[in-house]
Structures are given as C-alpha cells and as structure tokens.
Structure 1
Amino acid sequence: MVTGVVAHREPVVDDIEREAEQRWHPAVRVLFRFGFVVVGVGMAGVWLLHALLRTLGVPQEMVSEVAEWTALHPLTDWIGTQIFDVRIDYTVTGSGDTAAKWVAVLTLLLVAVPVTVSWTVLDRHRPNYTRLYEWFRLLLRFSLASALLLYGMIKVLPTQMSFNLERLVEPFGHMSPMAVLWAQSSLSEPYEMALGAAEVVAALLLILPVTAGLGSVLAVIVALQVLLMNLAFDVPVKLFALQLFLYATVLAAPDVIRVVRTLLGHAVEARTSTSLLPTVRGNRILSAAQVLLGVWLLGAMTVEAYDGWHTYGNARPKSPLYGIWNVTEYSIAGEQVPALVDFREPPSNSGMPSANERFRRIIFDIPQGMTVQRLDDSLVSFPARIDTDQHTITLSKDTAHQWKLATFSYARPQSDRLILDGVLGGRPVRMQLDQVDLGQFPAVSRGFHWVQATPYFR
C-alpha cells in the first residue's frame, strides 16, 4: 500500500526537484514579476472576473461598479485630471477605446512598477517561478477562451454584424470605415459565422490542457486578424484586441519556437511542463475543474449570444411596416413640397427634420425604430412606436416615448403603398410612400454563382 502511494506521487516529486534545480536569470525573474502583475492580474484576471460575474447573473450596475474599482478608480481619476486634463468617465458606451480605458492601462503600468520592485526585494532569493508561470498560463488560457467564446458565439449566431436595411440606401462615402466593415460582413451570414467558428474552435481547444498548444496557435491567427481589422477600419476595440493578441502570443510562443526549430532541422525534445499542484490527485481534480469551467463558459456565452441574436441580431423581430419606402408625395397643410435639395440651408443640428424639410425615404427595420433619409442622403433615426391596431406611428426622443416629436396615422391601401397623416413640428403633414423592391439591390439579390461568364461589378 505504502509503496503504491509513493510510486503514484513520484512524477510530481520529480517535477518539484526539477523546478528547484532551474535558476532563471535575474532580469527574466523581474520581467516575469512585472508581466504577472500587468498582464496576469491587471488585464487577464480582471477580464475573467468580469466575464464570470456576467455569467453568474450579477446585475450590470454591480459589474460596472466592480469595473471602476478594478480600473484603479481613484488613482486613474487623478492621473486623468492632473496629467492629461481629462475627466474620466466610466459610462459604458460600447467603445473599448475610451479615455478611461487608456488612462487605466497607464495607471496599471505605473502601479506595477513599485509592486514589482517590492516583490523583487522580498522574494529575491527565489530561483525561478516555474510553477507560478504555469498558473499564469492557465489564467491567460481561460481569459482568452472566454473572450473568444463571447465574440465567436455572437458571430456564429449572427448578432455582432447584423444586417440593417438603411445600409442599402446609404451612400458608400457617407459610411465610416467601421460601418463599411460591418455592412460587408453582415451581407454574408456564412462569412460572419465562419469568422465566429474559428474563434469558438480556438477557445474550445484552449480549454483542454492536452489541446491548449494547438488552440493557442489558432488563437494567434484569429486574434491577429481581429486586431488588423480593428486597426484598419478604426473599430474602437483596439486596446482589447491588442490584449487578446498578447495573451495568444505568450501562450503560443513555446510551441511556435519548437515548430520553427523542427522546420530548421533541429532536434526538439518532448515538451515538459510543471504540475500546477503538488499531488497527482490534485492535478486531476484541477483538470476536471478546467473542463467544467470551460463547459460553463460555453453554455453561458451561447445563451447570451442566443438572446442577443433574437433581440438585436439577424433573428430579431421586424417592423410591421418592414421595408424601404420612397416618399413620392409630401405636402404641408395641403401644399405640395417639391423634391428639391437646397444645400445652402443644411439640416438643423437637432437631428429632427422640420416640417419644411421633405423626406426622401423612410425605412422601417426594427419594431421600435424608424429611420428617415433626407434629400441630401443623410440618415437620422428615432425611437418609434407602431400601433397596428390603431394604425398610428409615434416618434419620440426617448425609447420610453415621454418626449414625443410627431404622431402619424397610417393607411395601407395597397401592400406597397403607405399614406401617413399627422403633425410634425406643429404643422400638418401628409406623405405618400411607395415600397422599394429589395430585389433591385444586388447586395441582397445577387446570390452565389459557381459559374460566371464575367466578373459582376455592377
């Protein structure tokens, strides 16, 4: 019995002895301490904490409050105001490149310096951090996997780049580089789903220790592509994309080096890794825990993506008046307004066209919104409430419809014609709208062709 136990534990004992024999260069030890504080704790650890809080159903308000403190809230505020003369605002805007996030990274780097110095002084006799390095890699693995699962699933279930009708009539030159990227990606669900599938596969490979090496190499390719798109099309997630690429590079570096050495004809020994825990049983339990955590993250991210897909993704509900409608007749108090553009009098900055400003098109896409295209081709959207029983359309400044801008009654004498009557800017307005046949847009009607006599560049 005793002999069996000793033999069972022997490989881990060898790991401990081998770890004690290694001695890292002093500069490597200092660099590791700094990297562990910045990348491990301050970046990957914080992201994984936020991801787990979301999956556990913690209210968004509490997650936001935790995010402020993990961004070193008081010190970041002081650095922002005193050094950059910028008021730090932690409001969630959908952008990952806000001033608050950039200043928070600088704060983290500054804080990491004295922490690293203190750690170096107090732990200067330690020969290496072989075991802590493995824990560091484990933290990077699951932080990267959780992010890839999140961004991958909202592409597999097309949500991140959802199709919007207004893109079909918005002039190309009016679109920002990010809007161009989103528009071209949303036109092909298979393309968007393939991008997401690559991210999900990389994440699943990262979860299992035995396939983590392959997953990290695939993650480098995926993260590099995301980073290049964010940089090339000015997508405001550059900072986080850089972090994901850094995680993937750190994880893949040992395997990439081994592959390169093999291709150059050098002999490569079997890779050895240090056990995370001192007992075989403990390591088995830890491996099982990694699988369970991976399954939990996959399930939670899938549910979140599925909800988003049906809320604002391509599976979202459509407006009861869904379509693009040309304004063929427009009158104010019974007097026809011609379809002319006067660029000497640009639209007001309030965002809401006046009654005197004739609309060119009205676009109904989502049930709770309406988009107007002006005669100069600019677009402006409003919260809208369409009552199909009363046949009314209410436009407001807010989604709760407490600040109403206009109310119209509508009639649909034909399936492709709408008549709107109402008050806009205090004046009576009547519009006749004719529905546009979406088949006239090659972007959605062209389809796929194996055989083409000539390139189709219409």
Structure 2
Amino acid sequence: MTWLGNVPLFGQIGEYYDIAETWLVNMANEYILQIHSERMPPNGSGDTSYHYAHLRFLLITATVGTLIWTIADKRKNYNTAYYWLLVIIRYYVAMHALFYGIIKLFGQQMIFPPLSALATPLGDFLPMRLSWYFIGYSGPYQFFSGAVEFIAGLLLLYRRTSTLGAFVAASIFLNVMMLNLCYDIPVKLFSIHLFLLSNFLLLGDAQRLLNFFVFNKAVQPVQRIGLPTKQMRLAQIGLKIVFIGLFLIKPLYEFAIAFDQGASPPKLTTGIFSVDQFKGNAADSLRWKDVIFEANSSGSIQTADTLFRQRYRRGYFSYTFDTLKHTIAFKKFASDTSALFTMNYVMPDTNHIALRGKIRDDSVLVTLKRQKRHFQLTERQFHWVSEANR
C-alpha cells in the first residue's frame, strides 16, 4: 500500500496499513507458516524472505476468505463485484506501467555504464548488473521500451481500449518477467504478479480473442456494465481525473523538471587514475591500485577495503570537496552526513592528484596519475553496413 503515499491524506493510512500487515505476516510466519526463522525486511530486493512469507500469508488468507464467502453468500452471480475487481486491477496495472514507462522515457531506470563499470572485468559482473547495463547502454532502446509501457498504461485507463491495453501489458510484462527470471533480477515476484494480472484482465475477453485471432469467426461487441446514476458517472469521471493527475501528469511534470535541471553536482575531476605511490601501513589487500572519479561526485577504488561499498572487487564511494581548504571528504553513500575520512588534495594539473590524510589513524599519502584508457563500448557504434563481425 506504499503507493498511497502519492495520494494526499492517504499516505498515513497506507503507512498504518503496512505496519499492521507486517505484524500479521510475522505472526503468521512464526506460529503457522514457519517458513523462515529470520525474515529479511523489504529493501532494494523485491524477493526477500519476508516477501515470500507475505505471499504465502495472502494466499492462505484469500483461500480461507473465499471458502467462508462461498458458504455464507448465496447470490447467483457477482457481475457488479467482478466489474469493480476488473477496474481496480486495470488501474493498478496502468499505474505501474505508467510509472516504469515514464522513468524509462527519461532514461532514469537503467544508466549507461559508468567508468567504474567499464573498468570492471566482464566476468566479475552479476547477471542483473550485466542486464541493467545492456539496456542502459542504448538510450533509444530504453526510450522505446518505456514508450511501449507508457502506451499500455494509457490504453488501460479507458474501457474501450482496455482489452488492447491488457494485451500490450501482458506482452511487456512477459518480457520483463523472463528477464527477471533468467538474469536473476530480484523483482521476480512483482513482475510475475503484473504478468498474471494483465492476463486476468484478458480472461473476460478470452473467447472473443480466440474467435478473432485463432478461429477466424465474427466477434460481437462486448456489453459493458454502465453505472446506474448520473452522480455515480460523475464520480467515476472525477476519480479518473484524480488518478491521471497523480500517476500521469504529476510524474511527467516532476521528471521533466528534474531532467531539465539535472546539472551534475560539483566534482573534483573525471577519469581513471593509476596509483603511482601509496605510502602507509595498510595491508597489501587494502592498498589502492587505481582510483576512478565519475562524471558526478562519486567514484571507485580497486581495493578490498570494506570501509567502502564493496562491489565487483572495487570499493565505491561518494565525495564532497572544499576548494578553499583543498580537502576531499570520502563517504560511503551520498546521503551520509559524516565522512569516512577526509584528505587534503593537491592537483597541479589535470593529470596528477596527490592525496594526504588519515585512514583508520594511519597517515597515508596517495599520488595519482591519469590513465589514457579508451573503451570501445563508449563509442556508441552503429553501422548499417558491416563487412565483418566486430
């Protein structure tokens, strides 16, 4: 229910709902399911042990609720309930298709491989990171995939185009699901849900779709359920306008503003620097082999020092620097308020940097020299005519 945070006055309700749901899932897992003795809470991964306990809890709750409802309720049909269920699912899928479409349109989901990634041996990458850079490498391809998701979301907003929208969404999320499953991307459960929900929207039109695409039979127009009163129809239009404003116009405006004002933060320099000398008492594994400063105020170091964020045999960092005091403060994350350590820097020219300071109470001197490294991948090559495999 965290998506309710986008809706005024509903954010607090969603927060309380999440707290209550988390408590119920943990209690059910501890006393009934007993799947995981320790549950990793939700984080950057969507496939943690908590998510699997949560899924089992919902399946059991839905099954028990269905049995009770079936026994207690004697109505012959649920046409109205089915109609509203389709509406809720349609807007839920549309919301996520629009969101992921918009961030891809502005190139914000997958990024072009930074220098640190280009300098990392291919064999060190995990499958997810490889797939992420594969998509981020090509801006036009990411824009295309985002545009298709965006169109699917738009089509789902209107009943007349909802079947086509569900068809497009099912195709998109099938591809996303297979990417997540085959490249071990930790959003498997969520992508499977979006794929299944898209197909659920098509179930009501299954016979008509089979007649049209497979059996070559005439297809009659579907009979839509209309709202009985003018007030309800006006309320429906009002809610649709609110939804479009919150999940279409507002995100588009915010991303457009951020994209237009997306000036990179102040940086010391950009490039790959070899370490000419590293003076200090650090063990060999902690010594720096090279330093990369990215196009923003971040970078990485070839070192096994766990003081930094370790990924793919490199230590990643963010930094801020003071041009008056000539100091550079190394941080683990850009949002950190305190630095891991601070060093004085001297930069006589763009090709040389000297860093001096204390790391773990060890006085360290590091001198850096720019490397002239060229990566063919950054050339963004494209050839209509290719005389040979390249």
Helix, strand or coil: the match of 1:359?
A: coil
For 1:249 and 1:289, how far apart are their aligned partners in 2? 25
For 1:310 and 1:62, how far apart are their aligned partners in 2? 34
For 2:348 and 2:87, how far apart are their aligned partners in 1? 64
TM superposition shift of 1:285: 4.6
For 1:62 and 1:379, how far apart are their aligned partners in 2? 42
Map 1:39-118; keep pairs closer than 5 Å. 46=1, 50-56=2-8, 63-69=14-20, 72-82=21-31, 83-90=34-41, 92-118=42-68
Structure of higher CA gyration radius: 1
Q: 1:55 to 1:280 in 2, by over 3 A?
A: closer
Q: 1:407 to 1:84 in 2, by over 3 A?
A: same
Residue in structure 1 matched with residue 315 of structure 2 by the alignment: 380
* 8 A contact 2:267–2:297 mirrored in 1: no
Residue in structure 1 matched with residue 358 of structure 2 by the alignment: 423
Helix, strand or coil: the match of 2:343?
A: strand
Aligned match of 1:167 in 108, 111, 117? 117
For 2:321 and 2:169, how far apart are their aligned partners in 1? 45
* 8 A contact 1:209–1:287 mirrored in 2: no
TM superposition shift of 1:188: 1.3
2:152 is equivalent to residue 217 of structure 1: no
Helix, strand or coil: the match of 2:71?
A: helix
Residue in structure 2 matched with residue 34 of structure 1 by the alignment: none
Residue in structure 2 matched with residue 358 of structure 1 by the alignment: 287
TM superposition shift of 1:68: 3.1
Counterpart amino acid of residue 435 in structure 1? R
For 1:172 and 1:65, how far apart are their aligned partners in 2? 44
Residue in structure 2 matched with residue 339 of structure 1 by the alignment: none
Residue in structure 2 matched with residue 238 of structure 1 by the alignment: 188
* 8 A contact 1:159–1:308 mirrored in 2: no
Residue in structure 1 matched with residue 345 of structure 2 by the alignment: 410
TM superposition shift of 1:244: 0.6
For 2:257 and 2:188, how far apart are their aligned partners in 1? 26
Helix, strand or coil: the match of 2:356?
A: strand
* Identical counterparts, % of pairs: 26
Q: 1:104 to 1:94 in 2, by over 3 A?
A: same
For 1:175 and 1:188, how far apart are their aligned partners in 2? 19
For 1:366 and 1:451, how far apart are their aligned partners in 2? 33
* 8 A contact 2:279–2:366 mirrored in 1: no
Question: What CA RMSD, in Å, does the superposition of the two structures yield over aligned residues?
Answer: 2.9
2:220 is equivalent to residue 269 of structure 1: yes
Structure 1, unpaired ranges of 5+: 1-45, 336-352
Helix, strand or coil: the match of 2:111?
A: coil
Residue in structure 2 matched with residue 154 of structure 1 by the alignment: 103
Q: 1:111 to 1:328 in 2, by over 3 A?
A: closer
The two structures have a TM-score, normalised by structure 1, of 0.74
Residue in structure 2 matched with residue 30 of structure 1 by the alignment: none
Residue in structure 1 matched with residue 308 of structure 2 by the alignment: none
Residue in structure 2 matched with residue 320 of structure 1 by the alignment: 267
Helix, strand or coil: the match of 1:413?
A: strand
Q: 1:209 to 1:452 in 2, by over 3 A?
A: same
Once structures 1 and 2 are overlaid, which stretch shifts more, 359-368 or 180-189? 359-368
For 1:310 and 1:239, how far apart are their aligned partners in 2? 34
For 2:269 and 2:43, how far apart are their aligned partners in 1? 28
* 8 A contact 2:302–2:314 mirrored in 1: yes
TM superposition shift of 1:427: 3.1
Higher relative contact order (CA 8 A, sep 6+): 1
TM superposition shift of 1:211: 1.3
Q: 1:305 to 1:247 in 2, by over 3 A?
A: farther
2:279 is equivalent to residue 332 of structure 1: yes
Q: 1:366 to 1:256 in 2, by over 3 A?
A: farther
Residue in structure 1 matched with residue 367 of structure 2 by the alignment: 432
For 2:165 and 2:350, how far apart are their aligned partners in 1? 52
Residue in structure 1 matched with residue 71 of structure 2 by the alignment: 121
Counterpart amino acid of residue 400 in structure 1? D
Give CA deviations for 1:165-217 in whole Å, capped at 9, x if unaligned.
31111111111110101111111111111111111110011112221111111
TM superposition shift of 1:160: 1.4
* 8 A contact 1:330–1:358 mirrored in 2: no
TM superposition shift of 1:303: 4.5
Counterpart amino acid of residue 450 in structure 1? W
Residue in structure 1 matched with residue 154 of structure 2 by the alignment: 204
For 1:324 and 1:55, how far apart are their aligned partners in 2? 43
Counterpart amino acid of residue 108 in structure 1? L
Counterpart amino acid of residue 91 in structure 2? F
TM superposition shift of 1:134: 1.1
Number of residues of Structure 1 aligned to a counterpart in Structure 2: 379
Aligned match of 1:447 in 377, 381, 384? 381
TM superposition shift of 1:413: 1.8
* 8 A contact 2:135–2:141 mirrored in 1: yes
For 1:291 and 1:53, how far apart are their aligned partners in 2? 18
Helix, strand or coil: the match of 1:394?
A: strand
For 1:396 and 1:54, how far apart are their aligned partners in 2? 31
Helix, strand or coil: the match of 2:289?
A: strand
2:65 is equivalent to residue 130 of structure 1: no
Structure 2, unpaired ranges of 5+: 306-311
* 8 A contact 1:97–1:238 mirrored in 2: yes
Give CA deviations for 1:47-73 in whole Å, capped at 9, x if unaligned.
xxx3232243876x875543232xx33
